[in-house]
Amino acid sequence: MPLIVTPGRLARQGEFYHQIGAMLAAGLPLGSVIDQLHSAPPARFFRQPLAQVAASLKSGLTFTESVSQIRDWLPAFDTALLAAGEQSGRLDACCRLLAGYYQSRAQLARQVLASFAYPVFLVHFAVFIIPFPQLFMGGGWNSYLRQTVGPLALGWLVVFALAYLCQGRRGEFWRSLIEQVTDRIPILGVARRRLSLARLLAALEALLNAGVNVQPAWELAAAASGSTRLVKEVRGWKAKLAAGLTPADILKGSRAFEEMFVNLYSTGEISGTLDDSLRRLQAYYQEDATRTLQQLAEWTPRLAYIGICLLLAVRIVGWWAAYYGGILGN
pLDDT, position 25: 92
Q: 47 versus 306: which is more confidently predicted?
A: 47
Q: Give the mean pLDDT of 48-74.
A: 90
* Mean pLDDT over the full length of the chain: 82
pLDDT, position 83: 83
pLDDT, position 329: 60
Q: 212 versus 42: which is more confidently predicted?
A: 42
pLDDT, position 166: 61
Which of 46-55, 110-119, 307-316 tops mean pLDDT? 46-55
Inter-helix orientation angle 117-129/274-329, to 10°: 10
Q: 188 versus 280: which is more confidently predicted?
A: 280
Q: Give the mean pLDDT of 297-314.
A: 73
Q: 185 versus 44: which is more confidently predicted?
A: 44
**Structural domains of the chain, ranges and CATH numbers in brackets:** 7-107 (1.20.81.30), 188-288 (1.20.81)
Q: Give the mean pLDDT of 225-234.
A: 87
Question: Per-residue pLDDT tens for 173-225?
Answer: 667 777 777 778 777 788 888 888 988 888 888 888 877 888 888 988 888 78
